[in-house]
Amino acid sequence: MSSSALLSSQTEFERAARFLETSPDYRVLRKLQTVRGFHAPRPGVETRVGVAVDVETTGLDHESEVIIELAVQRFRFDAEGRIVQVGQPRVWREDPGRALDPRITQLTGLTNAVLKDEAIDEETAVEILGSADLIVAHNAAFDRPFVDKRLPALAGKAWACSMAEPDWLELGFDGRALAHLVFQCGWFYEGHRAENDILALIYLLAHDLPEGRTVLADLVARSEAPSYRVNAVDAPFESKDRLKARGYRWNAVLRFWSREIPEAERAEEEAWLRAEVYTTGRGSPAFFPVTANERYTPSS
């Protein structure tokens, strides 16, 4: 097909899509396309650097499993959370030195043959991620421990989680899965490949919310807000159901329940713990300040 015929065909498709969008009985989804930016940069307006990151791994446990694919994509954003520049994606694969679980191949499409003798360009990966004012992942609690383990020079960088930190229901969405959120913005893509996931993440961050903010602006504000990690040390065994219902998670290594709370909720949380958990007067919770630089590390 000639370029002119292809352009004409695309124009017809777009015309048909716009026609369908006029009816409440149809919803049009557009495939994600590479993009250089979502807004024009404004002269004199300071920008910051973000990096979207996604990993594919041999399994779930960062202690025993390793990265087999790392994708990063740098972007620039202004104080209003508007993405003004998007860089080129960089994707590296790495030979884990052992055979993949067939389920990992089924999930990611990566095979032992594809990964053989491949390695992450550590110097370039550290340069890109190290340049970030904020590293964003759509499940930072999973991605960060793997990245920090593989690239220890990045320890202490600020991270944000686009899955866990926004109140998606309050923002007008349902669910938290990346593909589902992007679908609700009117886009679709082929998931479970790192380079597709970071592009989808950047589209999601750039999405304009009804009140004029972007998703990224909301995420940055939440990421920068101070918080506390609460460790319910020596909590009585019989309080486990109350702790779980309140959002605490069991740390099997350190053997206590913990959760993260906004700074403003510290007094309320301490009062609840003393009234509902430490009822005998023995033991007490421990509160540790947490910033984006510590958040999602294994110790947090």
Identify which of 13, 29, 297, 55 has the alpha carbon closest to the alpha carbon of residue 193. Answer: 55
Name 221's Cβ contacts closer than 8 Å, sequence gap at least 6: none
Distance, in Å, from the CA atom of 190 to the CA atom of 211, rounded to the nearest integer, reads 30
CA atoms within 13 A on the CB side of 18: 6
pLDDT tens for the chain, 300 residues long, are: 555 554 456 688 888 888 888 888 888 899 999 999 999 999 989 999 999 999 999 999 999 999 999 999 999 999 999 999 999 999 999 999 999 999 999 989 999 999 999 999 999 999 999 999 999 999 999 999 999 999 999 999 999 999 999 999 999 999 999 999 999 999 999 866 788 999 999 999 999 998 889 999 999 999 999 999 999 999 999 999 999 999 999 988 889 999 999 999 999 999 999 999 999 988 899 999 999 999 999 766
The pTM of this model reads: 0.89
C-beta neighbour count of 251 within 10 angstroms: 14
Quick check: 240 and 232 in contact, CB under 8 A? no
Please answer whether residues 246 and 232 qualify as being in contact, where contact means their C-beta atoms are separated by less than 8 angstroms: no
Burial class of residue 218 (count of CB atoms within 10 Å of its CB; 0-12, 13-18, 19+): buried
The DSSP line for 146-193 is HHHHH-GGGTT--EEETTTSS-TTTTT-----HHHHHHHTTEE---SS
At 252 the pLDDT is 86
How far is residue 258 from each of residues 120, 144, 287, measured CA to CA in Å? Answer: 34, 19, 10
Short-list 72, 82, 89, CA closest to 47: 82
* Sign for the pseudo-dihedral over CA of 35, 39, 45, 48: negative
